[in-house]
Structure 1
Amino acid sequence: MKFLLSNDDGYFAPGLAALAAALEPLGEVSVVAPERDRSGSSNSLTLDRPLSLKRAPSGFHYVNGTPTDCVHLAVTGLLEAARPDVVVSGINHGANMGDDTIYSGTVAAATEAYLLGIPAVAISLAKHNAAHFDTAARVAVELVARMQRDPVRGAVLLNVNVPDIPYEELRGWRVTRLGRRHKAEPVIKSNNPRGDTIYWVGPVGTAQDAAEDTDFWAVANGYVSITPLQIDLTAYKQLEFFSAWLK
């Protein structure tokens, strides 16, 4: 089995190294990741300049672009003769649940693979200053091994969030829907050394919709959350209304 790994924390991130080491016994692992932290970059492609590909001493390849750039470049150019069977993005340092998935570069890397017709998994360790990358890596191995034994038909995009606890303390797995957060906190206003006003994006809001079937609830209660995602943004319930509205 051929794996392509990427992330949004950069090629030097400990989560990526843990993921690569865990998956190597299962098949051929290739890594193409951003050269620096590109958290929050979403599904952006770099179209205003050329991209460069370099190889680190670890053997990982890195690109001066976004997570989406990395997967697109790997699948449509670098790995053309050896198309991956599965793309795994992560292990992200921090959760990607609810509304976070819209902004997440981790999810975006997996999304690009999905759009290119390749099964993809985005996996995140749901805590900042996380410690148990080995737990998330073991979850990734078990999920991929299941995909080997029982292949999923067609392209699939899974968003996986793992509690930052020892593996033995996990309570199980839950298939969930995305929850919702409250609105973000206000921007943080300050001044740089020259006296110019600058702004930092404020922290995310707390969970507003964290019902028992959501990713927020699952992770908070010690479960691995697995959310199947889709990319169709069409508001189907409004099609009939706007068709009549435009007559």
Structure 2
Amino acid sequence: MNILITNDDGYGAWGIEALIEAVSKKHNVFVIAPDGNRSGNSMCIHLYSSFKLYKKGEQKWACEGTPADCVNVALKGNLLNCKIDAVLSGINKGQNIGTDIIYSGTCAAAKGAVIFGIPGVAVSMQLACENDSDWNDRSKWHFESIASFVADNLEKLCSLCRPASGGKMPDEKCAFINVNARSLKSFKGVKITDVCFREYTDDKAEISFKDGSSDTAECVFLGGEGESDQRSYSDYQACKDGYISVSRVIAEPCSANDDLNLDSIGFSL
């Protein structure tokens, strides 16, 4: 298969390099990845504004845009001159579970793929110890283990996706696959999971006023660890228990009208 690999950590990040190496053994790999970290960009795209791409090697490009831009380039442009059969996004340095999925650039790339009609799989890994301070220690990140799982099971993972049919509305909601695991050399197994709800109680936006001005403020958003509440056997719990979590995630907007009754609301005109 012709596989596009992208991420949100940026071209050359540890996780994407491990995924490229593993998947290239069995498939024809193309790489279009952001030229820097684009974490938290979700589905942000450059609309009617240009951005540059830089050739990094045979079938490899770094992109000034976002993960969603990278998918657009591959699927809607003529840069690659071939049909892409699936999109892999990751391996993200850090988990993308539960509510994280909404913000994640990693997941956005997989989401964009299924909306455009091809399978999309997002892959993320978290340090084995939740309070581990060795975030920048490469020896603590066992990306190769999850990369091997994805490469060995790529066709199965793609079969679980529900891409749009020819880019048109499918009978069922479009869905991509979200894979998560702790940074372990081996796993107890694989679990099909629900997604947890993440409470970002320790996130903080720091506001400061510069040069004594009260008219201009500067903000820095500081993300925290977050707490995970579980509705059922969740992605969080599976990873904590030493398993690989595989979740099928709806990629398009879903209404929640089941408990709404127009007569009881009493809208006025």
Q: 1:76 to 1:186 in 2, by over 3 A?
A: closer
CA distance in 1, matches of 2:263, 2:150: 45
Query: Separation in 2 of the partners of 1:209 and 1:199?
Result: 29
Q: Contact 1:11–1:60 (CA<8 Å) still a contact in 2?
A: no
Q: Paired residue for 2:156? A: 146
- The structure 1 residue matched to 2:235, chosen from 215, 220, 240, is 215
Higher helix share: 1
8 A Cα contact 1:88 1:122, kept in partner: yes
Which segments of 5 or more consecutive residues in structure 1 lack a partner in the other structure? none
Checking the alignment, whether the CA contact within 8 Å between 1:40 and 1:103 is kept in structure 2 is yes
TM-score if structure 2 supplies the norm length? 0.80
Q: Against the structure 1 CA distance between its residues 235 and 138, is the aligned structure 2 distance closer, same or farther, given a 3 Å change threshold?
A: same
> For residues 39-84 of structure 1, what are the alpha-carbon distances to aligned partners after superposition, in whole Å with 9 as ceiling and x for unaligned?
0000011125212221114752011111000001111113564221
Change (3 A) 1:23 1:153: closer
Change (3 A) 1:65 1:228: same
Unaligned runs of 5+ in 2: 128-134, 164-174
Q: Give aligned pairs, total.
A: 243
Q: Would the aligned equivalents of 2:161 and 2:176 in 1 still touch at CA under 8 Å? A: no
Please tell me the residue identity of whatever aligns with 2:223: P
In the TM superposition, 1:168-247 aligns within 5 A as 170-187=187-204, 189=206, 198-210=218-230, 213-238=233-258, 240-242=260-262, 245=265, 246=267
Maintained 8 Å contact 1:187/1:199: no
Deviation of 1:213 after TM superposition, in Å, equals 0.9
Partners in 2 of 1:12 and 1:191 — Cα distance? 34
1:211·1:217 contact (CA, 8 Å) conserved in 2? no
Match of 1:119 in 2: 119
- On the 8 A contact 1:15/1:91 being kept in 2, the answer is yes
1:87 aligns with 2:93: no
Q: Partners of 1:115 and 1:23 in 2: how far apart?
A: 23
Q: Give, in angstroms, the shift of residue 187 of structure 1.
A: 1.7
What amino acid is the match of 2:204?
V
Structure 1 residues 153 and 232 mapped into 2: Cα distance closer, same or farther (>3 Å)? closer
CA distance in 2, matches of 1:186, 1:165: 27
Pair 1:18–1:153, CA change in 2 (3 A): closer
Q: Quick one: which amino acid aligns to residue 11 of structure 2?
A: Y
Separation in 1, partners of 2:36, 2:263: 46
1:159 aligns with 2:178: yes
For normalisation by structure 1, the TM-score amounts to 0.87
The percent identity for this pair of structures is 30
CA distance in 2, matches of 1:157, 1:79: 24
Q: Is the 8 A contact 1:157 1:229 kept in 2?
A: yes
Alignment partners' CA distance in 2, 1:152 and 1:95: 21
